[in-house]
Chains A and B, each alone.
Chain A
């Protein structure tokens, strides 16, 4: 018997079945994104690490320790059936909510917000994990509500949303609340929210944004600086724009950039500026293309889906993924007020990376080809 590299079509082992049912285009795009991210961390983070007095490869080493772990987690999660995804999300959401409450009680205050918690020597941001798990649980509730008139799924989903959103606002983390709300709204919309209510929700959203502007001074200051850059310190954005300009079409070349030496968040929120300066428009368009491909390819798979829960959960996770990318790149490019939002799989950050791995693992699991209609096995 020859050593086969792939799996035979008739192979019914878990891995064999996985290989033939998983969306390999999606898998390839995620792999490419992770590779680009690893390269950009190598380019951007040593300068930042040196500036804060750490050893040059401090961030690189940490990220490279996390990456294999993340790939394993993502692939492991993608082995799950849709029902397994649902169970994982339900348990995960419960754990994340408990950790968020714990964070508020015992977490240290960093830059005016309580978001992190130390567990067994690893600092975690539980809210990062709450986001994907909540999206899946909300999808479950919406689907149940649509399929059985008696089940109060919409009410439960709204209640859960209120709990998670309040916990986020208590930290306070306005940006993440915004993403959570947007994803929740998108899922509710997909689940057949009457169009009149859609309009009302959009208006409520606008009111919520205005409310945040009025009640959180740092939000107001950021919006003011976006609308009128001269009204305050818009140093980061101005520097980022200059970086894109200097990069041009081909970029200055790896290691030739200057922006990473001056931008405090060059390895996280403003990593696209480093990409633009050193690798030029080409790489920027590749990154945007990869994000667009993953989101749209995922959507296309969901369009063929016959199960409402799978459709809502997959779409929710993809909306969250895409929205985060759009917000990060939008603020770096000065298309919207700056918002501390990581670029999925590209920015440095352990919690965010691990949470994304779980989320995309779930997307891979949900987008696997299944037979029959509406089943969850």
Chain B
């Protein structure tokens, strides 16, 4: 039969598949119709032949494949590979991990299953609900029954079942119930990194913190390595919690920054929340005070003020400012908290934290200089950090002389704690401002930064900060071997009516260590601390925040591999003792 087909094919090979040309001129109507019919049938035959050839080829390929598979054992390796692959279902692990600088997992995703129902397939909603509630007691029976009774083919019943729960639901054998594979974000450290990491919503979209900023990256499966150190973070949070409890405070902020890279090693804001249980968060818990809150920082700003005075050349360490009586400007009076009521040298201004002398230094260098330096130190612009929750500083406008004077001791300008930490890092690291970052820099890829102060100024600021701890208001932060330097700050918080409230303090201490070769800046701020019997009722930065910073440094110094050195070794690099000649009293009590 195939042979017969072949003969036909040969006979027709010459005729094309296209319809033959119309030879119908000069024919009668019936002849023409007959010719048309003939042409149609002729086309049909030719094309049928073509179709037949196609089928012959197809059957030949199939027969060939059969021979190949059975006798020639073709595709053997392929078959074997497939057999091994057969039962592996792709594991859909979407959102990538976030790890700390040492690879400790801070956020990860676990595959889970969620229970849903095709309500149209559920035979008896009442019975099904009763059974389900027995194995999933946290569901409401009435609610489940209502969902199962609705004429919908997709209703969620419970998200994120445990394997045991899934097994028990399966064992009920209720038709119409299905499991959906998904994943759940897990934060193994609970609230430790809450504000930094932020949150994901129920569908695993980042909605706050780094989860939001790096949502696309994490979804694409790229893990994120942070600059933070889980150990340092733990120490910081513990010490802040202790301070909050001791002083019955309402909140606290803590940060540690690597002064040479701008990397944030620790960032804590209290109160915090457990991102594993986002339902329990409140707006207050969610608020990241370290980056979103803007505060009048108080006396810690005197560090910036002194640096400006020294760097602009208007003051030297030997300059003397009279703080013997309050300074009256228009209707304002600037006075000292525990005044010495005598002329003070520049080191004494910081050690005794004199508002009067600081304001006089500011008048000396002037408003324009202050504005320029504050801008260079990053105090006037919104900090660049990888978090969506960043506050903008409140800057005076217009910037009058009285503003210049109050800003010198940290009032009349409100900035985020992050800005202060970044600025002070530039003060002690040799005068280079580097942007703060929560993401770990690749080794060797640290940003060059921008020079904002002379190296000499930075050197002098190290001396002054060290001196303030050795003999001034920051003495309670001293850690043997780590040569802490720093500055206290105690700001009265603005009340509802725009007046300062004497009893609502924001007490802070900003430190760097070791001062002869600064590696880290450490900040602690306590919100509304109350004095205790041990502090003789004082709730100032020197009594509340400085001890916390000291305890933090004593623990993280060894962790971070900062070598402990003797006083003499430090003195050889950063001579402090000669400065005592510039101070009248080295053992005076702390004043703010």
Question: Which residues of chain A have a CB within 8 Å of any CB of chain B?
Answer: 25, 143, 146-147, 186, 189-192, 195, 229-235, 237-239, 241-242, 244-245, 247-249, 276, 280-281, 284-285, 288-289, 291-293, 295-297, 299-300, 302-303, 305-308, 311-312, 315, 319, 322, 326, 329-330, 333-335, 374
Judge whether B71 and A281 touch: CB under 8 Å.
yes
Contact B58 A299 (CB under 8 A): no
Apart from A147-B40, A292-B59, A297-B1, list 8 A-B contacts with CB within 8 A.
A25-B1, A189-B51, A230-B85, A232-B89, A232-B90, A235-B86, A292-B56, A300-B8
Known: A234-B85, A237-B82. A245 touches B55 (CB 8 A): no
**A25-B1, A235-B87 are contacts. A241–B41 as well, Cβ < 8 Å?**
no
**Chain B residues within an 8 Å CB radius of A237:** 82
Asked if B313 lies at the interface with its beta carbon under 8 angstroms from chain A, I say: no
Do A229 and B85 touch (CB < 8 A)?
yes
> Which A residues lie within 8 Å of B58 (CB)?
322, 326, 330
Instruction: Give CA–CA (A186, B76) in the complex, Å.
Output: 36
A334–B65 alpha-carbon span in the complex (Å): 9
| Closest partner residue, chain B, to A306 (CB atom) | B41
Residue contact A326 to B62, C-beta cutoff 8 Å: yes
The answer to whether A147 and B37 touch across the interface, beta carbons within 8 angstroms, is: yes
Binary interface profile of B, 1-38, with partner A (CB < 8 Å = 1, else 0)?
11011001000000001110000000000000100110
Q: List 25 A-B contacts (CB under 8 A).
A: A146-B37, A147-B33, A190-B44, A190-B48, A192-B44, A229-B85, A230-B81, A230-B82, A230-B85, A232-B90, A233-B87, A235-B87, A238-B79, A238-B86, A239-B83, A239-B86, A241-B69, A281-B66, A285-B66, A300-B5, A300-B8, A302-B48, A307-B41, A315-B44, A326-B59
Taking CB as reference atom, which chain A residue is nearest B61? A335
Contact A308 B82 (CB under 8 A): no
Q: Of A285, A303, A322, which is in contact with the most chain B CB atoms at under 10 Å from its CB?
A: A303
**Contact A296 B55, beta carbon cutoff 8 Å:** yes
A315 CA / B61 CA spacing, docked (Å): 21
* B82:A146 contact, CB within 8 angstroms: no
Whether B343 is near chain A, meaning CB under 8 Å from some CB there, is: no
> Which residues of B are at the interface with A, using a C-beta cutoff of 8 A?
1-2, 4-5, 8, 17-19, 33, 36-37, 40-41, 43-45, 47-49, 51-52, 55-56, 58-59, 61-63, 65-67, 69-71, 73, 75-76, 78-79, 81-83, 85-87, 89-90
**Chain A hits for B56, CB < 8 A:** 292, 296
A329 to B40, CA, bound (A): 34
Whether the pair B1, A241 counts as a contact (CB closer than 8 A) is: no
Residues of B within 8 A of A299 (CB): 5, 48-49, 51-52, 55
Q: Is the CB of B51 within 8 A of A238?
A: no
Interface of B, helix, strand, loop or mixed by DSSP: helix
Chain A's closest residue to B65 (CB) is: A333
Cβ B51 vs Cβ A192 within 8 A: no
Least CB separation from B51: chain A residue: A186
Q: Which of B1, B65, B90 contacts A296 (CB 8 A)?
A: B1
A292 to B1, CA, bound (A): 11
Inter-chain contact A296/B81, CB cutoff 8 Å: no
Are B4 and A300 interface neighbours, CB within 8 A? yes
In the assembled complex, the Cα of A186 lies from the Cα of B19 at a distance in Å of 16
A312 to B66, CA, bound (A): 32
CB distance from A59 to the nearest CB of B (A): 25
Tell whether, in the assembled complex, residue A288 and residue B63 are in contact, meaning their CB atoms are under 8 Å apart: yes
Residue of B nearest to A231 (CB): B90
Whether B51 contacts A315 by the Cβ 8 Å rule is yes
**Residues on B with beta carbons closer than 8 Å to the beta carbon of A302:** 48
Q: How far is the CB of A335 from chain B (nearest CB, A)?
A: 6
Contacts of B40 in A (CB 8 A): 143, 146-147, 191-192, 308
**Min CB–CB distance A30 → chain B (angstroms):** 15
5 pairs of A and B residues whose beta carbons are closest in the complex: A238-B82, A244-B69, A292-B59, A146-B40, A281-B70
Chain B: which residue is nearest A232 at the CB level?
A: B90
Q: Is the CB of A195 within 8 A of B70?
A: no
> Closest chain A residue to B1 by CB distance?
A297
In the complex, chain A residues whose CB is within 8 Å of the CB of B78: 229, 241
Which residues from chain B contact A307 at a C-beta distance below 8 Å?
41
Residue of A nearest to B69 (CB): A244
CB distance from A72 to the nearest CB of B (A): 27
Q: Which residues of A contact B87 (CB under 8 A)?
A: 233, 235
CB-defined contacts of B1 to chain A, threshold 8 Å: 25, 293, 296-297, 300
Q: Give the chain A neighbours of B59 by CB distance below 8 A.
A: 288, 291-292, 295, 322, 326
Complex Cα distance, B17 from A284, in Å, reads 34
Residues of chain A lying within 8 A (CB to CB) of residue B70: 244-245, 247-249, 276, 280-281, 284
